[in-house]
Amino acid sequence: MPTEPAGSQDGAGALNLPQRPLVGIVGSAGAYGRWLQSFFRTRMGLTVIGHDPADAQSVDEAELVRRADVLVFSAPIRHTAAVIDRYTGLANGHEAGKLWLDVTSIKTTPVAAMLRSQAEVVGLHPMTAPPKAPTLKGRVMVVSEARLQLWRPWVAELLAALEAESVHATPEQHDRVMALVQAMVHATHLAQAGVLRGQALQVGDLAAVMPFRSASFEMDAAIIARILSLNPAIYEDIQFGNPHAGAVLQALGGQISRMAALVRDGSDAARAAFRDEFLRDNRVAIGEVALAEGNYSYERIGYLLADLAAGEALSVHLPEDRPGSLRALLHVFERHAVSLSSIHSSRTPEGEVHFRIGFDAGVDLEALRRAVEEIAARQLGRVLA
């Protein structure tokens, strides 16, 4: 069946891109596929279609590749390259002048597969699971521009709408860095989970250990819980799909083995080697500036954890997202002479913004009750807890 090209040609034969491109998502029923559908529709005002075997209502692959001006591959890592090759065959050259993107955690293989098509190609890697927020504000997006010319202004518009901090890298550089940023970090925490499981008979499970927590242990425990709560196939593919992960994990194992050997030795010489190799040499390698910035980040996270552990707190949802809403809420507490010790915002799975307000342990509970009643009476917000 003949297909129409993306956009149209002017009298000189130059290709004009559509002003409002139709977006197609391969894997539209997956977690990121669903988030992308919402993003393109609500933040960019675009029409979105998709295909997913898990969604009987989605369009078929032939229609998707024919109609979509921008095709986004959001498939499992292990299947992405084969899926892209199948769509290249379906397109049969009619993808020329269109834009193909992928959002997988590995870049070399999917980008190479997209380059076997005639479309313009950009690899994307959002460095976060699908967020509860409508954009990626505060997160990082890795961008691999593999073949980009006509669609460059639109890609810039896309990245601006996503609101992420964009960092550009070749697919090879991306995968090498991800072996450290993802594969090594995940492996470290999964190994910690295994050690905790092995020590459970002696000290109890994680819940029994948590009362003894330091800030560092609490952060690590949170990361372990995060990894084990999400799709296990993603974490498996990040290890087995990255060609550089094996070497990094071997190096990590070597470091742990060396440290264990020194600790088992226990001699003064072993202690000196530990200080030199693991403390001094690593400090020099990281550098004073990065150490200072990292230590400051750690302290800020520690303050946040301390605030969240405060005994007296309530959460409020402000239904009207307008300037002055939070100020009006805070004035209520001021009128009732209730001092705040902390305030933090977060999003529920449904996307509602909640403000968690902490109070000192000696807060006047009667004054706090009156403040809560006024918030409800004036319909300033919905007090949740």
pLDDT digits (tens, 9 = 90+) for 274-292: 999 999 999 999 999 999 9
Residue identified by tokens 């001006």 is: 69
Instruction: Enumerate the H helices of 71-214 as residue ranges.
Output: 77-91, 108-115, 152-162, 171-178, 185-203, 206-209
- Per-residue pLDDT at 5: 43
As assigned by CATH, the class of the 310-383 domain is alpha beta
Structure letter (DSSP) for residue 210 = G
Topology (CATH) of 15-169: Rossmann fold (3.40.50)
- Per-residue pLDDT at 6: 54
- Per-residue pLDDT at 127: 97
- Per-residue pLDDT at 354: 86
- Per-residue pLDDT at 366: 93
Q: Which residues contact 284 (CB under 8 A, 6 or more apart)?
A: none
Are 183 and 249 in contact by the 8 Å Cβ rule? The answer is yes
Task: Point out which residues pair with 23 in neighbouring strands.
Answer: 48, 70
SS3 191: helix
Residue 334: C-alpha distances to residues 326, 340, 344, 370, 371 (Å): 13, 9, 18, 12, 9
In the chain, pLDDT over 70 holds for what percent of residues? 95
Residue 153 CA to residue 39 CA, distance in Å, equals 19
- Residue 3 predicted with pLDDT over 70: no
In the chain, pLDDT over 90 holds for what percent of residues? 78
Question: How do the domains of the chain map onto residue ranges?
Answer: 15-169, 175-304, 310-383
